Chain A
Amino acid sequence: MYKPEEHNVICTVCPIGCRLTVIREEHEPDGYKVIGGVCKRGEKFGVKEVTDPTRTVTSTVAIEGGLLPRLPVRTEKDIPKHLNYELMKLISSVKLQAPVKIGEVVVANVFDTGVNVIATRSMRAVK
């Protein structure tokens, strides 16, 4: 029997956490039908989670000459979810020198996504 492509997605748009079923349907405008949700934003989320799931990644990089040995960073926007671990590998070799200003670009355009990794706090130099 023919069974269309089907995905179970838990919606994270709001705290309700609807259990969505995202079903492949050629005739739908974006190629999928979403059931189990209660709002339009959830439908959009369901399709995105199936076709192009993305996340903001937050972590730290090494820093010298500041109050602390680690500086928190994040991707300025979401990047494709499957790049999480590769991003961790990429930033593991970064070593900054204090002072650093909040928002400063730490690594530009990671994996050609057009997204920068930025500092999420300022750290002044400590003698």
Chain B
Amino acid sequence: MQQYEVVIVGGGPAGLAAAIEARKNGAQSVVVLERDRELGGILQQCIHHGFGLVVFNEELTGPEYAERFIDELMKLGIEYRLETMVLEVNADKTIRAISPNDGMIEIQAKAIVLNMGCRERTRGAIAIPGFRPAGVFSAGTAQRFVNMEGYMVGKRVVILGSGDIGLIMARRMALEGAKVLAVAEIMPYSGGLTRNIVQCLHDYDIPLYLSHTITEVRGKERVEGVTIAEVDENRKPMTGTEKHYDCDTLLLSVGLIPENELSRGAGIQLDPVTGGPIVNEAMETSVSGIFASGNVVHVHDLVDWVTEESRRAGAYAARYVQNKLVEDASVIASRPGDGIGYVVPHKVRPENLNDKLAIFMRVKEVFHDAKLVVKADGEVVYSRKKRHMAPGEMEIVQVDAQKLKDLKPAELLVSVEGGETVHV
């Protein structure tokens, strides 16, 4: 059995930041286990720009953002193993992994940080009717084929889902010479950033049909066409609104799911709303000494916030192995109130906070000129006016840690007050 102080499961942006920060905060032996052939995770296929505005104050592409962290990891001499698939994480902090080089390996860690990221929702998960021919891809799979492996996936394309990955792939396919016929979105608004609607769809004259979904996929061997139709307020397709497209490819950008098979195996409690572990201020899960951060906890829209959250997870994991983390402290429950879908972290032990507590959250609807308010047992500890809040854009509030240490409340409640809900 191999011994490490901190084992990082996953070498994407979350794992890289957690590993670097664990080392910088005094963890002696740190190892990153990555299942792919190289470090960097999904950033390596996100060749578009727009990453790094928060962390580096400049606009980078995905691979550029990844390379900065990979360079730092190398400089710090942090160990990593590629093509290493973690099969099992246990509550006693043992790990079983497998790789072509080392065969089956068993590791005893003092602390573990889970950084597995998320997976794309598939066609099966949303039950699209029709045949099952080749030519139906999740958008991220197509992105990897086109941007890394050098395969063009199709010539005439329809995209279902207007999240950022769908929009980015619409532009990418158009630039590579495909005809992108339409982007269909079942919701009455797009889940993507306005900037991506403009720069990926408008720039390339690609129509976006809101409140539309796929009702048929045609073709036996390869996709030959799809039908989209408008949906009513219950998201049921309406007869008579069908549009038919002759196409060879259907891309799906219909949501991401945190990848928590390993967490479940370790008996870690999950939040049914985020699909990720319930965590405290240290990004520690319900199993002591097992931490988690990034998209495995909740789906972020900016990698910069994955980095920020994972730096905290790595630093706290280092504190844990040095016995500097207060485990049996008083616990504040942090909860979503009116207008808020979820908050992370779910629990707070004020003794472990530095100067601020960062709370990440998503609102449930689009709000204009509303206030984002945090109350500690009824007393306002944070309040800020927001011109614009939308479910597609994560909100972050920083609460003064000293206030929480003084008040020692039982509950932190985050809610939206006033303002107007906007129906696009």
Interface of A toward B, CB cutoff 8 Å: 10-12, 15-17, 38, 55-60, 62, 67-70, 72, 74, 81, 84-85, 88, 102, 120-122
Which of B38, B49, B63, B67 is within 8 Å of A56, CB to CB? B49
B203 touches A12 (CB 8 A): no
**B87 adjacent to chain A (CB < 8 Å):** no
Taking the nearest CB of chain A, how far is it from the CB of B195, in angstroms?
4
CA distance A89 to B147 in the complex (A): 16
Q: Is the CB of B63 within 8 A of A72?
A: yes
Set of chain A residues within 8 Å of B177, measured between Cβ atoms: 88
- The 3 lowest CB-CB distance pairs between A and B, nearest first, are A17-B194, A121-B63, A72-B47
Beyond known contacts A10-B198, A56-B49, A59-B176: 20 more, CB 8 A cutoff = A10-B202, A12-B194, A16-B194, A16-B387, A17-B194, A17-B197, A58-B48, A58-B49, A59-B47, A59-B175, A68-B150, A69-B150, A70-B147, A70-B148, A72-B47, A72-B62, A72-B147, A85-B175, A102-B67, A121-B64
Contact A12 B195 (CB under 8 A): yes
Q: Name B's A-contacting residues (CB within 8 A).
A: 37-38, 44, 47-49, 59, 61-64, 66-67, 146-150, 175-177, 193-195, 197-199, 202-203, 387-388, 390, 393
Report if A16-B388 is in contact (Cβ < 8 Å); known contacts: A60-B147, A70-B149, A120-B61.
Answer: yes
* Distance, CA A10 to CA B193, complexed state (A): 12
Cβ of B176: which chain A residues have Cβ within 8 Å of it? 59, 88
State A102–B67 Cα separation when bound (angstroms).
8
| CB-defined contacts of B390 to chain A, threshold 8 Å | 15
Contacts of B37 in A (CB 8 A): 67
B175 touches A88 (CB 8 A): yes
Q: How far is the CB of A99 from chain B (nearest CB, A)?
A: 14
CA distance A104 to B375 in the complex (A): 51
Nearest-CB residue, chain A, relative to B195: A12
> Is A15 touching B150 in the complex (CB atoms < 8 A)?
no
Q: Do residues B67 and A62 form an inter-chain contact, with CB atoms below 8 A? A: no
Bound together, the chains give a CA A10 to CA B196 distance in angstroms of 11
Residues from chain B with a CB closer than 8 A to the CB of A81 are 203
What residues on A are CB-neighbors of B197 within 8 Å?
A: 10, 17
- Which residue on A lies nearest to B197, using beta carbons? A10
- Asked if A72 and B194 make an inter-chain contact with CB atoms under 8 angstroms apart, the answer reads no
**Chain B residue with minimal CB distance to A68?**
B148
Q: Are B193 and A15 in contact (CB under 8 A)?
A: yes
Distance A6 CA – B387 CA, assembled complex (angstroms): 27
Name A13's closest neighbour in chain B (CB-CB). B195
Among A11, A16, A70, point to the contact of B150 (Cβ < 8 A): A70
CB contacts between A and B, total, < 8 Å: 78
User: B44: which A residues are within 8 A, CB to CB?
Assistant: 121
Complex Cα distance, B39 from A122, in Å, reads 12
Contact between chains at A67 and B38 (CB < 8 Å): yes
Residues in A neighbouring B147, C-beta threshold 8 A: 60, 70, 72
Given the complex, which residues of B lie within 8 Å of A69, measured CB to CB?
Answer: 149-150
B149/A74 in contact, CB under 8 A: no
B391 to chain A, nearest CB (A): 12
A37 to chain B, nearest CB (A): 12
B175 to chain A, nearest CB (A): 5
Chain B residue nearest to A16 in the complex (CB): B388
By beta carbon, the residue of chain B nearest A89 is B177
Contact A58-B61, Cβ < 8 Å, known A67-B37, A72-B47:
yes
A9 and chain B: residue at smallest CB distance: B198
Contact at A121–B67, with CB atoms within 8 Å? yes
Which residues of A sit under 8 angstroms from B59, Cβ to Cβ? Answer: 56
Q: How far is the CA of A15 from the CA of B38 in the complex (A)?
A: 33
| Bound: A84/B146 CA distance, A | 18
When C-beta atoms are compared, the residue in chain B nearest to A103 turns out to be B64
Cα–Cα distance between A55 and B61 once the two chains are bound (Å): 14
Chain A residues whose CB sits within 8 angstroms of the CB of B47 once the complex forms: 58-60, 72, 74, 120
What's the nearest-Cβ distance from chain B to residue A25, in Å?
A: 24
Which residues of chain B are near A84, meaning CB under 8 Å? 175, 203
Q: Compute how far the CA of A118 lies from the CA of B26 in the bound complex, rounded to whole angstroms.
A: 37
Q: CA–CA, A57 to B175, complex, Å?
A: 10
Q: Distance in Å from the Cβ of A50 to the closest Cβ of chain B?
A: 14
Contacts of A17 in B (CB 8 A): 194-195, 197
| B388 x A15 contact (CB < 8 A) | yes
A74–B62 alpha-carbon span in the complex (Å): 11
Q: Once bound together, how far apart are the Cα atoms of A72 and B44, in whole Å?
A: 9
CA of A35 to CA of B142 in the docked complex: distance in angstroms? 40
List 28 contacting pairs A-B, 8 Å CB cutoff, sorted by A.
A10-B194, A10-B202, A12-B199, A15-B194, A15-B388, A16-B194, A17-B194, A38-B387, A56-B49, A57-B175, A58-B61, A59-B47, A59-B175, A59-B176, A60-B47, A60-B147, A62-B150, A67-B37, A67-B38, A69-B149, A69-B150, A70-B148, A72-B147, A74-B61, A88-B175, A88-B177, A120-B64, A121-B66
Residues of A within 8 A of B63 (CB): 72, 102, 120-121
Most chain B C-beta atoms within 10 Å of own C-beta, residue among A10, A70, A121? A121
